Amino acid sequence: MSEYYNVVPWFNSKEWLDVYENVYISKNKTEAHNLLLIWKARCPSLPSGIESTLTLLEVLIQDENNVSTMGSDQLLRLAYSSAIMRFVNHMLDTETAKGSSLYQAANRLGVPDWIIDLRHDTAHSNNLPSIELLREASHIGLDWLEKNYWLKYKECIADYQSGQKDIGTPDMNKMATFMNLCLSLSFCAHSRCKIKNLADIPDTSLVESIINDARDIFGDLIDFSNLKTVSIASLVNILNNHSKKLLKCKDAAINANKALLGEDSLFLSLDILNSLGGDIIQKRKLAPQYVQCFEVLLTCLHTYDILLDFILELIQVSNNVENGEQKCLLAALWVSEILVALEKCKRITARLKKTNLTEKESKKKLRLLYHHWFPNEKTSGLLLDVHKSVPAQLTNIEFLQPIISTYNPFLKYFIKDLLNLVEPLLPKVVTENICQLAKLISSPEKFPSASPKIYTVEDLQMADYDKHLDSIEQKEITSESNETMDVDVTHIAKTQMTAHGIWRLASGSHSWSSCPIGVLPWQQ
């Protein structure tokens, strides 16, 4: 079996659909339960949605077939409690792995918060909840699974026949799983975490999430029987080496952007930012410890040539006022960080051309050489795939011109980093003028106009007096006897005009009504 396709416990898509119909349509729970047990025998580690369905289905069937006695009632409550606890743990582990509490995760995913209370009671209370409450929670859990697992995958489930050619673009769900795995490994690879292998991760739900995501993407390629032997570095290497099929397909960039920058985007999560990155509204800078959490992910995007689309999408996010000031600013600062990292790649490529080294040198060696060549650079900064060059479009000023000329109040945060990638470099004075213009657009109140004069109705009245002035000057020509008086009046009027403004009424000889806006009559 190709490593790019998952080995699944169901024989074909029809068998998967049969289970769905038996559970939710025909209500033949026994038949569905038997098929699920066969899947469990074929593959002990089932996908979380199926595992939770099986657990809830078993206890519901047991309840229907149960003859109520005091002893059996207690056992049934224990079975329900265990099923609900497993359902909550399985289905919310992806969200809790991101740092959310169970209540926050339930709120985001649409699970009633009283079910979380029920889970806590079953785990910590001396008394189990009533059988009626447990039954209701189990039915709600089964309905939630229909919406969030079965219907979600129903449209995209398909068969793979051995020997057939590429079946096209991987679905959005697999891309989302891939991105979640990238982010999880990025957090674990953070220097402050000091995590070397999966056994070192204190959060068991995060471990389970990583294992499930890795199996969804790579199948049985990785042996998780001994977590102490599965290092984070090895998982990152496998991720880089075996993700080509997923990230080189036709719509990889579109799917990646949807997964990373959607409504529930972890990449632009303000909760994670506030816990790791501090107050960016005041600092206008991303904290190094926050940036490092996403290094594995961004390096992967760079390696497989979808970083450019990601940057352009971030720029769009920064220019959408509906996202709010913090999210727009966060997107703009991320653009700056990524562009600075690309400039480092540009320096490495230029330096390699001057040496006898080649781009085939190991990434580790090139990273060490970079810090040797540029010792003044901060070692904590983002450093992407050192074997890759800057996307050619970002070095072309014609490609960048629409970005520069489009109104964006957050352009000033990354405009200079963008211009630093242009080849050949723009003259320094041009770069400074463009950056100054970006600052002017984003904060016009800091750049007042040269003239503080505010024109009022009095200025217009004086302009009207100018018309009367013209008639006086005409009378000067025809009336020599009153020449001295007219000159005095003219002098007074001109003095008043100088004191009150510069407005003049237009000549009546021009057809102003037929003149287009922005054009003077004599310019037509």
Residues 6 or more apart in contact with residue 260 via CB below 8 angstroms: 179, 266, 267, 297, 310
| Mean pLDDT within 381-406 | 83
Q: Whole-angstrom Cα distance, residue 36 to residue 45?
A: 12
Q: What value does the mean pLDDT of the chain take?
A: 76
| Mean pLDDT within 485-496 | 48
Query: What percent of the chain clears pLDDT 70, i.e. is strictly above it?
Result: 73
Q: Whole-angstrom Cα distance, residue 521 to residue 511?
A: 7
Alpha-carbon radius of gyration of the chain: 34
pLDDT tens, residue by residue, 495-524? 444 444 455 666 667 777 777 777 777 776
- Evaluate if pTM is beyond 0.85: no
| Mean pLDDT within 261-270 | 75
Structure tokens at 524: 């037509």
Domain boundaries, the chain: 13-154, 172-383, 391-448, 457-508
2-8 LR contacts (CB < 8 Å, sep 24+)? 3/218, 3/219, 3/221, 3/242, 4/242, 4/245, 4/246, 5/160, 5/219, 6/215, 6/216, 6/217, 6/219, 7/43, 7/219, 7/220, 8/43
Q: What is the DSSP string of 61-110?
A: HHHHTPPP-HHHHHHHHHHHHHHHHHHHHHHHHHHHTTT--HHHHHHHHT
pLDDT for residue 178: 79
CA 455 and chain centroid, separation: 47
Helix (H) or strand (E) holding 466: helix 457-478
87 close to 118: Cβ distance less than 8 angstroms: no
Question: Between 64 and 460, where is the model more confident?
Answer: 64
| Mean pLDDT within 7-34 | 87
- Residue 198, exposed/middle/buried by CB under 10 A (0-12, 13-18, 19+)? buried
Q: Whole-angstrom Cα distance, residue 242 to residue 435?
A: 41
61 close to 53: Cβ distance less than 8 angstroms: no
The backbone torsions φ and ψ at residue 197, rounded to the nearest 5 degrees and listed phi first, read -140, 175
According to the per-residue pLDDT averaged within each range, which of 30-44, 100-114, 172-186, 279-293 is highest?
A: 30-44
